[in-house]
């Protein structure tokens, strides 16, 4: 009974930048993100044959509680109006895509003041496995759990060459214990989210600490006691970074207690009429993309 969790914003961004911007509806509306999202989803549904499906969306791409903790959180992506920088030709496609997913009966879950990552994380710890998290972002590696059969379908190399990330994949890629990715990420930081990490500790230093300590609190305590597993430079940087370390777990870790609504997660059944879906196909010139999704759902 595999549950597939779609990190929707990650998918439509990848679709938008991966598909030609010359793809237009009969009236000239851009449809590259819509077609790409549907094509990717259909292909992955065919490959992994989930029994349950949820499309997670951002309730808030920059939650207030994370910004209160760290005002620089994602500040690098804020435009002059205080909103997320996003191409207008992508923004106009998102409502149409969500309407299409709704017409297909795919549950769309977003919760105010939480990111899609938090929603995915909450489902991943509360729903039975196997679970396949579909994303192009590394943030969700922290949710990988071999015992519960939670893995990430990582799309950095594209659909055809994507990686199925388990604990061994993380260990091989970063040379750390696979279940310590969150610790590694806290220390290293993430420039794309405006997260500096602990100043002066890069990927190599973060990996060393993750190999020797199970938590950031344990690493800081070791620094304060001049633990021999830490170099003098790492000790200095950890102690100097205490203020950031105090907020890092809540800032970087996905929330696991989002008040998500109860939704029917079973794969949607064919409705009595496909008229609404065929109308989208006709209005927006979605052709084979709609057909692929219909086929993937075994309709």
- Domain-embedded: residue 96: yes
Distance CA 285, CA 90 (A): 17
Compute CA distances 227 → 212, 213, 230, 241, whole Å: 11, 11, 6, 17
Residue with tokens 């030709």: 89
Q: Collect all residues with Cβ–Cβ distance below 8 Å to 6 and sequence separation of at least 6.
A: 41, 53, 54, 55, 56, 134
- Domain-embedded: residue 52: yes
Distance CA 299, CA 297 (A): 5
Is 84 in the same domain as 197?
no
pLDDT at 85 over 80: yes
Mean pLDDT, the chain, rounded, equals 95
**pTM summary value:** 0.94
Is 163 in the same domain as 248?
no
Q: Mean pLDDT throughout 147-154?
A: 97
Tokens of 270: 């064919």
Predicted confidence at residue 81, as pLDDT, reads 74
pLDDT at 80 over 80: no
- Domain-embedded: residue 296: no
Is 169 in the same domain as 185?
no
Range of the domain at 267: 3-175+255-291
Is 228 in the same domain as 151?
no
Question: What CATH code is carried by the domain that includes residue 100?
Answer: 3.40.50.1010
- Domain-embedded: residue 298: no
Is 192 in the same domain as 57?
no
pLDDT tens-place string over residues 172-201: 999 999 999 999 999 999 888 889 999 999
Count of structural domains, the chain: 2
Is 115 in the same domain as 132?
yes
Is 231 in the same domain as 138?
no
């Amino acid at each position: 009974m595999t549950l597939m969790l779609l990190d929707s914003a990650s998918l439509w961004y990848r679709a938008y930048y991966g598909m030609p911007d010359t793809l237009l509806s009969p009236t000239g509306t851009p449809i590259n993100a819509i077609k790409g999202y549907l094509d990717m989803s259909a292909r992955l549904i065919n490959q992994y044959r989930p029994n349950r499906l949820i499309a997670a969306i951002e309730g808030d791409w920059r939650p207030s509680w994370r910004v209160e903790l760290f005002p620089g959180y994602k500040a690098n992506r804020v435009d002059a109006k205080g909103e997320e920088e996003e191409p207008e030709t992508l923004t106009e496609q998102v409502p149409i895509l969500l309407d299409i997913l709704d017409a297909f009966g795919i549950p769309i879950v977003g919760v105010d003041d939480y990111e899609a990552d938090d929603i995915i994380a909450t489902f991943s710890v509360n729903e039975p496995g196997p679970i396949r998290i579909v994303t192009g972002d590394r943030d969700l590696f922290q949710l990988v759990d071999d015992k519960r059969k939670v893995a990430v379908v990582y799309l950095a190399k594209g659909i055809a060459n994507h990686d199925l990330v388990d604990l061994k994949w993380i260990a091989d890629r970063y040379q750390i214990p696979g279940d310590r990715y969150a610790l590694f990420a806290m220390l290293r930081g993430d420039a794309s989210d405006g997260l500096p990490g602990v100043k002066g500790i890069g990927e190599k230093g973060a990996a060393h600490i993750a190999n020797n300590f199970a938590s950031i609190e344990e690493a800081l305590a070791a620094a304060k006691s001049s633990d021999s597993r830490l170099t003098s430079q790492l000790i200095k940087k950890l102690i100097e970074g205490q203020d950031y370390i105090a907020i890092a777990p809540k800032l970087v870790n996905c929330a696991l207690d989002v008040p998500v609504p109860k939704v029917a997660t079973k794969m949607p059944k064919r409705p009595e009429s496909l008229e609404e879906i065929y109308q989208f196909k006709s209005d927006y010139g979605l052709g084979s993309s709609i057909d692929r999704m219909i086929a993937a759902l075994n309709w």
